[in-house]
Every structure is written in C-alpha cells, then in structure tokens.
Amino acid sequence: MSTQPLDAIVIGGGIVGASAALWLARAGKQVALLERDFCGSRSSGVNYGGVRRQGRSLVQLPLSCRAHQIWGQLPELLGIDGEYVRSGHLKLARSESDFAALQRWATLSEPFDLGLQLLDRQQLRARFPWVGDIAVGASYCPEDGHANPRLMSPAFAQAARRHGAHVHEQCTVTAVEPSGAGFTVHTAQGQRFSAPWLLNCAGAWAAALASQVGEPVPLVAGHPAMLVTEPLPMFMTASTGVEGGGIYARQVARGNCVMGGGQGFALGESTARAGQLAVLDILRNACELYPALAGAQAIRTWSGTEGYLPDREPVLGPSSTTPGLLHGFGFAGAGFQIGPAAGEALAECILLGEPRHSLQAFSIERFQHSTRSNAPCA
Ligand SMILES: Cc1cc2nc3c(=O)[nH]c(=O)nc-3n(C[C@H](O)[C@H](O)[C@H](O)COP(=O)(O)OP(=O)(O)OC[C@H]3O[C@@H](n4cnc5c(N)ncnc54)[C@H](O)[C@@H]3O)c2cc1C
C-alpha cells in the first residue's frame, strides 16, 4: 500500500478525465489518473468520431467552440493528429419542417460565428451530389469534422503521462473517503491515493460517487449503435447527420464508411452490442440518404456505454456538497468533441479558481429537487 503526495486525483481515463489530467500536469500539478480498464477504452475510444459543434444545445457552444480551438492544436498538444480532419459537417433535412428547424438553429447560433451555410434542395444537389433525393435541404458547417477515437482518446492520457501525470491503468477505484483537507481513494489493486482535489470523470459509472456525497443524479446508460463498411471508393466529402436523428455517417481516408444511429443494448455493466434492429435501421436509412452505399458490406458492428441525464446536458463543475470534488460526466452521446474543453474547464476550477467559461448550466444542483429518469435516445 502506498500513499503518494498529490494535488489531484482523477477517476476515469476517458477523454474528459485524461484531458483534465493533461491540463493539470502541464501546469505543474501532481496528478494521478486512475482508470479501471485502459485509458480511452470505453465511450471515448469506441465512439463514432464526430467532431461537431453544429446541432448542439446553445449552452454548450462556448465550451464547444473552445474545444474546436483545442482540436486545431492536436499535434502540438498530443504529438499526433488523431486522423482529425475538418471535413465539414452536413446536417440533412428530410422534410420542409426539418429544414425550418435547421434554419432556426442557424439563426440562434449566429453569435458563435460557426460559418453555417444553409443549402436548399438545388444547392445541396450541386454541392453534394452523393446525397440521396430524400434530402430536401441541409445546413453545412465547414469547419466541423471527424477524427479517430481509438487514437485520440488514449493520446490524451499518454500526453498527460509525458507531462508528469501518474497514469494508473487497470486500477479500479473502490472507495473514496474524506481525509484531512481532501480525499483518500482506495483501489481494488490495494493502492491508496490522497489529494485535496478529486475529479469524478467516471463516465456512465459516475453516479455512485455523486450519490455517496449526497448528490444523487438520474444518470442512465445508453448504447449508440455503430457499424463500419468495407473500404469503398471515396465519395462522402463531409461528415453527415440528419435533423431529428436516426443516422450519422462519415468516410475515412481508407474508404470505410463509419455509421451510427439508434440504440443497441447492454451485455453487462460496461459492455454493449449494436443489436440487429438498430443495425438494420442504420442500413435502411443509409441507402436512402447515400445511394452509393447500396450493396456495401458492413464488416463490423459495435456499441459502447455512455451516460445520459434527462436534459441531455452534462454535469460539469464543482460538487454542491463537498469542497474539492469536481464532477465531469453525462455527455449524452456528444462528449468526444467537447471533452478536451470539458477537461480543461475542470482543470481551470483548480488552477484559476473558476473556469473561463461559465459552467452554471451544467451544475449538479439542477438535480437537487428532481431525480426523474428518462430513457436515452439517439
Ligand atoms: C457508440 C458511441 C458513439 C458516440 N459518438 C460520438 C460522436 O460522434 N461525437 C461525440 O462528440 N461524442 C460521441 N459519443 C459520446 C462520447 O464518446 C462520450 O460522451 C465521451 O467519450 C465521454 O467521455 P468520458 O471521459 O466522460 O467517459 P468514458 O470514455 O466512458 O470514460 C470514463 C472512464 O471511467 C472509467 N471508470 C469508471 N469507473 C471507474 C472506477 N471505479 N475506477 C476507475 N475508473 C473508472 C471507465 O473505465 C472509463 O474509461 C459517442 C458515444 C458512444 C458510446
């Protein structure tokens, strides 16, 4: 058993926790990053890889725009580009009312200067001839894009380690107790860590600690369904989504099309499968929206385990009951893009006293009087 003098302990080596550890280590803090499996092996490493600001709730846009800046600096920050490309994000409308919804969001998001381009049917056909006739229009965000989550998320932890963070993988936190002016954390492997700051970045598994400190949250697990096709001739020039949900798709440089939509199912507490119904739905939608995919072979399907809160906003920021505890979880299927900035915001709570972007909208206090649970959707 060992006790290490630390400034901060981070529970969870997903993109949020690893990013927080990286920003803290870069600022010279002694930080331990504790991950039950391998860093980036859960949601952060198995997601679709969409890196988009378009379509987010407006309260997320300040942080999402900060994340956009960080994504632009990956080689300097992490030493790799993570196959990140600013391909543009094309959000398609399948009805006039869906197109009106895209127009409304474009107006509301104007202060954030996303450079959105609204395309009617004719403009869409001319710019993106590979989109099926079912689309009546689209909103195009030229600087959104996609990346390879398998590369990106572990890279944050590796960069944190290079900056001096103590990264412990296969290290399961089993108990947290108050100690002195901070916390002592025990692991299943018999280690003990103590620090004045504790970051709860345990993804879909974060509610237990919140509950322990008197902050129960209605966090539920969801399992977005994913598949990838065989390599195909390049045709998809942007990452795509659809107003109202149902399917999202991108094509990687090797030619494979990665697609997601709907929900799979849990096999256990941390394993999940895409499920036949969700896969068939993705394929049906894909053939309507991207006719070039007709006859393509899907070579792999998968899912992951992600935390959802009823309002689909994360909990991000200080505990309301326990000084020194910070929460960062519940990203509702959209935390890959915003994760690097979410981690930075948590680090800023320690380094600056408060983050540069207000986290008020993500306060855990919003659940103090309501613990209703809603089923997640795509
Ligand atoms: C299939 C799928 C597709 C998605 N697509 C997109 C997308 O295209 N774009 C996008 O922006 N977002 C997407 N998301 C969401 C995104 O992946 C998540 O919001 C984000 O990765 C959450 O990061 P995290 O660090 O909070 O959680 P996680 O990556 O889940 O990390 C939490 C970590 O905590 C660890 N942990 C839990 N309990 C303990 C413990 N007791 N001790 C030690 N460690 C513990 C877990 O092992 C895990 O590694 C998708 C998610 C899924 C599942």
Work out the percent of the chain whose per-residue pLDDT is above 70.
97
- Give the pLDDT of residue 4: 53
* Nearest residue by C-alpha to atom 22 in ligand 1: 335
Regarding whether 26 and 12 lie in a shared domain, the answer is yes
Q: Which domain holds residue 118?
A: 89-142+224-303
Q: Work out how many domains the chain is built from and give that number.
A: 2
Instruction: Please give the distance, rounded to the nearest whole angstrom, from the Cα atom of residue 288 to the centre of ligand 1.
Output: 30
| pLDDT at 378 exceeding the cut of 50 | no
Listed in sequence order, the residues at least 6 apart from 72 whose beta carbon sits closer than 8 Å to its beta carbon are none
Q: How confident is the model at residue 202 (pLDDT cuts 50, 70, 90)?
A: very high
Mutation to probe ligand 1, out of 37, 41, 44 (largest number of atoms < 8 A from CB): 44
User: Within a domain: residue 174?
Assistant: yes
The CB density around residue 375, as the number of other CB atoms within 10 Å, is 9
User: Within a domain: residue 2?
Assistant: no
Regarding whether 187 and 133 lie in a shared domain, the answer is no
- Give the pLDDT of residue 177: 97
- State how far the Cα of 250 lies from the Cα of 51, in Å rounded to an integer: 11
Mutation to probe ligand 1, out of 47, 68, 209, 223 (largest number of atoms < 8 A from CB): 47
Domain boundary among 303, 328, 352: 303
Listed in sequence order, the residues at least 6 apart from 357 whose beta carbon sits closer than 8 Å to its beta carbon are 62, 63, 66, 341, 345
Regarding whether 296 and 204 lie in a shared domain, the answer is no
Cβ atoms 32, 187 nearer than 8 A: no
Mean pLDDT of 77-88: 97
Cβ atoms 315, 217 nearer than 8 A: yes
Size of the chain, expressed as the number of residues it contains: 378
User: Within a domain: residue 108?
Assistant: yes
Regarding whether 130 and 95 lie in a shared domain, the answer is yes
Whole-number average pLDDT of the chain: 95
**Predicted TM-score (pTM) above 0.75:** yes
Residue matched to tokens 């977005």 = 224
- Give the pLDDT of residue 5: 87
- Give the pLDDT of residue 23: 98
Measuring CA to CA, how many Å separate 217 from each of 1, 165, 171, 338?
33, 30, 25, 21
Work out the percent of the chain whose per-residue pLDDT is above 90.
94
- Give the pLDDT of residue 1: 43
**Ligand 1 atom showing the smallest separation from residue 50 Cα:** 8
Regarding whether 154 and 294 lie in a shared domain, the answer is no
Mean pLDDT of 160-171: 98
- Give the pLDDT of residue 373: 40
- State how far the Cα of 241 lies from the Cα of 357, in Å rounded to an integer: 27
Regarding whether 299 and 241 lie in a shared domain, the answer is yes
Q: How confident is the model at residue 370 (pLDDT cuts 50, 70, 90)?
A: low
Tens of pLDDT, residue by residue over 1-32, are 444 589 999 999 999 999 999 999 999 999 99
- State how far the Cα of 210 lies from the Cα of 216, in Å rounded to an integer: 6
Regarding whether 290 and 237 lie in a shared domain, the answer is yes
Regarding whether 293 and 232 lie in a shared domain, the answer is yes
Residue 136, Cβ density class (10 Å: 0-12 exposed, 13-18 middle, ≥19 buried):
middle
Measuring CA to CA, how many Å separate 163 from each of 9, 72, 146?
15, 20, 26
The pair of structure tokens assigned to 358 is 């207000």
| pLDDT at 180 exceeding the cut of 90 | no
User: Within a domain: residue 181?
Assistant: yes
- Give the pLDDT of residue 376: 38
User: Within a domain: residue 246?
Assistant: yes
Query: Taking CB atoms and a 6 Å cutoff, what residues make up the pocket around ligand 1?
Result: 11-17, 34-37, 41-44, 46-50, 172-173, 201-205, 224, 226, 260, 303-304, 306, 329, 331, 333-337, 339
Mutation to probe ligand 1, out of 36, 43, 209 (largest number of atoms < 8 A from CB): 43
Regarding whether 290 and 233 lie in a shared domain, the answer is yes
Measuring CA to CA, how many Å separate 263 from each of 249, 289, 305, 349?
15, 19, 10, 34
| pLDDT at 374 exceeding the cut of 50 | no
Cβ atoms 84, 146 nearer than 8 A: yes
Tens of pLDDT, residue by residue over 321-345, are 999 999 999 999 999 999 999 999 9
- Give the pLDDT of residue 372: 41
Tens of pLDDT, residue by residue over 221-260, are 999 999 999 999 999 999 999 999 989 999 999 999 999 9
User: Within a domain: residue 69?
Assistant: no
User: Within a domain: residue 129?
Assistant: yes
Q: How confident is the model at residue 181 (pLDDT cuts 50, 70, 90)?
A: confident
- Domain harbouring 124, CATH code: 3.30.9.10
The pair of structure tokens assigned to 348 is 């800023």
Mean pLDDT of 94-123: 98
Strand partners, 145: 51
- Give the pLDDT of residue 2: 45
Cβ atoms 210, 325 nearer than 8 A: no
Mean pLDDT of 270-290: 95
Instruction: Please give the distance, rounded to the nearest whole angstrom, from the Cα atom of residue 124 to the centre of ligand 1.
Output: 34
Encode 249-311 in three state secondary structure: EEECCCCEEEEEEEECEECCCCCEECCHHHHHHHHHHHHHHCHHHCCCCEEEEECCCEEECCC
Domain boundary among 303, 332, 355: 303
Regarding whether 358 and 252 lie in a shared domain, the answer is no
E strand or H helix that includes residue 224: strand 224-231
Domain boundary among 264, 282, 303: 303
